[in-house]
Amino acid sequence: MITWREKRSGLIAPDERLPWGPTVAMGLQHALAMFGSTVVVPVVMGFDPNVVIFFSGVGTLLFFLIVSGRIPSYLGSSFSFVAPVAAVIGSPAAGTLNTANIPLALGGILAAGLVYALIGVVVEVSGSAWIDALMPPLVTGSVVMIIGLNLAPAARGLAQDSVLLAAVTLLSTLCFALLMRGMVARLAILLGAAVGYVVALVLGGSSAAGHSYAGVVVQGVDLSKVESAPWFGLPAFVHPAFDLHAISVIVPVAIILVAENTGHIKAVEAMSNRKLTRWLGRAFIGDGVATIVSSLGGGSGVTTYAENIGVMAVTRVYSTLIFVIAALVAISLGLCPKFGALVGSIPTGVIGGVVTVLFGLIAITGARIWVDNRVDFTRGVNLFIAGVVVIIGAADYTLQIGDFQLGGIGLGTFGAIILYQLFKDAAGGVDAGPTPESVTSDSANGEVVPSGAAGEPGPSVASR
């Protein structure tokens, strides 16, 4: 297990730490950074926020142990699971949520975690070069964009419940993100939601139905459950059940988690001046095991969090010790039913404004991966593959073979991987594949080439 050498200034590496006071403060800051998005996921999916927050903390501790404390990372609830889970249990936005099917979704999440962990075992034994060859920037960018576009109808459904609240929340979030600096900008999602919540309280009142102003509905906030909820108590754990259809819909998310986790670790490696990709297999195993444990109790699948990587980039503090503190904070919040009731009281219009921003950022992050890695869309193979799979994912094409069903995200993901391998040598051909040290791309073919050769920094951080 890693030990931390105290350091008071400059870049703080994963095996170093600040004095205990600043270390605890940094842990609290990372807990805040993960909080906004981690809470949004269960609200959008219809899961219990207390359970999800609790297992994000537990999962982070498991990840820390499995990677021997060498990779600085927080595991929060993954947006990649939202669409496939909605295909199994319905969506609160569409009014089709069937909570009786949540155990089936949990079974699918467990299966995805198992596949993810097995991929980690293979990488640990064989190395990670084949991951880069299988999923170059063309593929990973397409997959990330598919996630955001596939979720767009859910955002629209939530925002329609109260367009005014959605607009206020969205505009507030943009103001915090674009006009403010430092941690205020980092917490734009959370602060934007808080503004929307206050507006709902003031204009909508204490009834969830709210009030109408000149035909414009403003939802209210029902605080009755918050008032009656105790301060301390165990979350309402739910256990998984297994169904082939649910598993087939959710398991492909494992491929997405591999792509985003790889991007996260390479980004942190470049920023922290520490070799971390040699621990990539363990990172996959840790994330997979954390997802399995989360699903066993009713939590969502988890993944490394871009918000926390952003905080590290700003503070230049990469000590893994701060994530232990952040995890303990999350576990404490999960043991507070009043906190869960407060999250559950957020009007759907406010959530609609938040997810409009988040899902849009996910989609655009896919394009950013292409730009940062200089994928050349003057090449027909790149243009056609990306164009086809993005439409498949956005339109939610579905492949049905007997009881097996593959939805838009899964079909687009596998389609991107398979089509690229089939046609990568078309129109002039491409390199055979990247090396494990590759961090940037060749503008001629979208493949990754060694850092420095292309004159660009490492890969962009993939979205959740």
pLDDT band at 458 (very low <50, low <70, confident <90, very high): very low
pLDDT given at position 106: 93
> DSSP states of 241-310 as a string?
---HHHHHHHTTHHHHHHHHHHHHHHHHHHHHTS--GGGHHHHHHHHHHHHHHHHHHTPPPEEE-HHHHH
DSSP bridge pairs for 77:
302
Please name which of 54, 44, 38, 53 lies closest in space to residue 105, comparing C-alpha atoms: 44
Integer angstrom CA distances of residue 416 from 151, 191, 390, 462: 18, 36, 9, 16
Greatest C-alpha distance within the chain: 67
Across the range 272-282, mean pLDDT stands at: 84
175: left (phi over 0), alpha (psi -120 to 50) or beta: alpha
Quote the Cα angle for 295-86-308, to 5°: 60
pLDDT given at position 36: 63
Tally the C-alpha atoms within 13 A of residue 458's C-alpha that lie toward its C-beta.
19
Integer angstrom CA distances of residue 450 from 95, 209, 266, 447: 49, 57, 13, 10
Across the range 184-213, mean pLDDT stands at: 77
pLDDT band at 113 (very low <50, low <70, confident <90, very high): very high
B/e letters for 417-435, b = 16+ CB within 10 Å, e = fewer, are bebbeeebeeeeebeeebe
Residue 400 backbone dihedrals phi, psi, to 5 degrees: -115, 120
pLDDT given at position 109: 93
Across 186-195, 345-354, 428-437, 445-454, least confident range: 445-454
Residue with tokens 């994530």: 323
Distance from C-alpha of 90 to C-alpha of 101, rounded to nearest angstrom:
9
The residue among 32 and 82 whose pLDDT is bigger is 82
Across the range 30-57, mean pLDDT stands at: 80
The residue among 210 and 320 whose pLDDT is bigger is 320
Across 75-89, 404-418, 447-461, least confident range: 447-461
- 3-state SS class at 213: strand
> Is pLDDT at 358 greater than 70 in this prediction?
yes
pTM reported for the whole predicted model: 0.69
Distance from C-alpha of 335 to C-alpha of 235, rounded to nearest angstrom:
6
pLDDT band at 450 (very low <50, low <70, confident <90, very high): very low
Beta carbons of 155 and 355 less than 8 angstroms apart: yes
pLDDT given at position 436: 36
Distance from C-alpha of 420 to C-alpha of 426, rounded to nearest angstrom:
10
The pLDDT tens digits for 140-178 are 788 778 877 877 887 787 787 778 888 888 898 888 878
Contacts of 85-88 with CB under 8 Å at 24 or more apart are 85/45, 85/109, 85/250, 85/300, 86/45, 86/154, 87/249, 87/407, 88/245, 88/246, 88/249, 88/250
Tell me 26's DSSP state.
H
The residue among 134 and 452 whose pLDDT is bigger is 134
Across 79-88, 123-132, 382-391, least confident range: 79-88
> Is pLDDT at 291 greater than 50 in this prediction?
yes
Across the range 318-332, mean pLDDT stands at: 89
DSSP bridge pairs for 438:
450
At a CB cut-off of 8 Å and minimum separation 6, what does 359 contact? Answer: 79, 148, 151, 152, 154, 155
pLDDT given at position 445: 38
How many CB atoms are closer than 10 A to CB 270? Answer: 16
pLDDT given at position 451: 34
> Is pLDDT at 6 greater than 70 in this prediction?
yes
pLDDT band at 312 (very low <50, low <70, confident <90, very high): confident
Distance from C-alpha of 123 to C-alpha of 120, rounded to nearest angstrom:
5
Residue 82 identity (one-letter amino acid): V
Across the range 52-75, mean pLDDT stands at: 92
pLDDT band at 290 (very low <50, low <70, confident <90, very high): very high
Beta carbons of 305 and 34 less than 8 angstroms apart: yes
Beta carbons of 27 and 320 less than 8 angstroms apart: no
pLDDT given at position 60: 94
pLDDT given at position 449: 35
pLDDT band at 93 (very low <50, low <70, confident <90, very high): low
Q: What is the mean pLDDT of the chain?
A: 79
> Is pLDDT at 371 greater than 50 in this prediction?
yes
Residue 96 identity (one-letter amino acid): T
Please name which of 211, 285, 340 lies closest in space to residue 62, comparing C-alpha atoms: 285
Residues in the chain: 464
Across the range 305-323, mean pLDDT stands at: 76
